[in-house]
Structure 1
Amino acid sequence: MHGPFNRGGRRKPMGEINVVPFIDVMLVLLVIFMITAPMLTQGVQVELPQVTSEPIESQEDREPIIVSVDREGGYYLSIGGEEMNVDLEELGDRVIILLDRQPGTPVMVRGDRFVPYGEIVTLMSTLQVAGVANVGLISEPPPRD
């Protein structure tokens, strides 16, 4: 008698593994991680420490373009000691012109510490659209006690 329940016959060993359950588990884990990852980075309050850092030496001899944001949210563009008041759209256009004339000119941002974080992010986005690859942030060391 030949059949699946025949104990008298010899069964061949199965040489393959069913990987479908493993794929299902991996897809479920992928979905779980995709959903929880954004939740882990939002809503965390962080109090940043005040530290003293060494100034970075400029590797180029070019005068940097300095963009400043004052307490009231006004934007200023400083080139070689000459400072002018500009609005955000004009700032992007002027930076594009300056970088076309002298590619690789460093761009530095000076922001008042009481300026909302959103103003600085908007400025950084405008500079990115203008083609600035790297932006430096200017700060002052904490007062010595």
Structure 2
Amino acid sequence: MKMKRIDSINVIPFIDIMLVLLVMVLTTATFVKTGLIPVDLPEAKGSAAEHKPSELKLTIKKDGTLWLGDNEQVSLEQFEQKVVSGGRTMTVVLYSDKEAAFQNFVGVMDVLKRLGHEQLYIVTDKQ
């Protein structure tokens, strides 16, 4: 009995494995956090904002502390200096914990209004 010679490689098992890996990567990627500072964002309906390179990320934590980026704690005055040095074209992206005192949010908005700064995104969780 002669065996039939296979001239081509069967790629179907390879495709099956790749699809399983793709599903695993996509489901794992949904659990990745956006930042290092733990903030419980409020929810809102609307579209997501696009990322811009000249942006200043400000986080208001539950205890009222202000953070620039992911690791620099600042006061309201230091934040104001950063906004002035960045110019009016810089975008401010605000992450505020939903349990943070509203006064902290108002303080940030007051600084931006006083400086005539209008480029502001307020980040929320989508409903």
TM-score, structure 2 normalization: 0.57
The residue number in structure 2 matching 1:71 is 62
Does the C-alpha gap of structure 1 residues 98 and 111 become closer, same or farther in structure 2, counting only changes over 3 Å?
same
Are 2:57 and 1:57 equivalent residues in the alignment?
no
Question: Equivalent residues in 2 for 1:1-145 (5 A)?
Answer: 51-57=44-50, 61-78=52-69, 83-99=71-87, 103-142=88-127
The separation in 1 between residues aligned to 2:99 and 2:120, in whole angstroms, is 20
SS at match of 2:63: coil
Letter in 1 for 2:113: Q
The separation in 1 between residues aligned to 2:86 and 2:44, in whole angstroms, is 33
Q: For residues 77-122 of structure 1, what are the alpha-carbon distances to aligned partners after superposition, in whole Å with 9 as ceiling and x for unaligned?
A: 12xxx631101111101211122xxx51211111000012221011
Letter in 2 for 1:90: Q
Q: Structure 2, unaligned stretches of length 5 or more?
A: 1-42
| Structure 1 residue runs of 4 or more that deviate by more than 6 Å after TM superposition | none
SS at match of 1:136: strand
The separation in 1 between residues aligned to 2:56 and 2:98, in whole angstroms, is 20
TM-score, structure 1 normalization: 0.51
Identity of aligned residues (%): 15
Q: For residues 14-37 of structure 1, what are the alpha-carbon distances to aligned partners after superposition, in whole Å with 9 as ceiling and x for unaligned?
A: xxxxxxxxxxxxxxxxxxxxxxxx
Give the structure, 1 or 2, with the largest relative contact order (CA under 8 Å, sep 6 or more): 2
Q: Structure 1, unaligned stretches of length 5 or more?
A: 1-49
The separation in 2 between residues aligned to 1:51 and 1:108, in whole angstroms, is 16
The separation in 2 between residues aligned to 1:70 and 1:54, in whole angstroms, is 24
Is the 8 Å Cα contact of residues 96 and 131 (structure 1) preserved in structure 2? Answer: no
SS at match of 1:68: strand
Higher Rg of the two aligned structures: 1
Is the 8 Å Cα contact of residues 58 and 93 (structure 2) preserved in structure 1? Answer: yes
- The worse-fitting range, judged by mean Cα deviation, of 131-140 and 109-118 is 131-140
Report the count of equivalent residues. Answer: 85
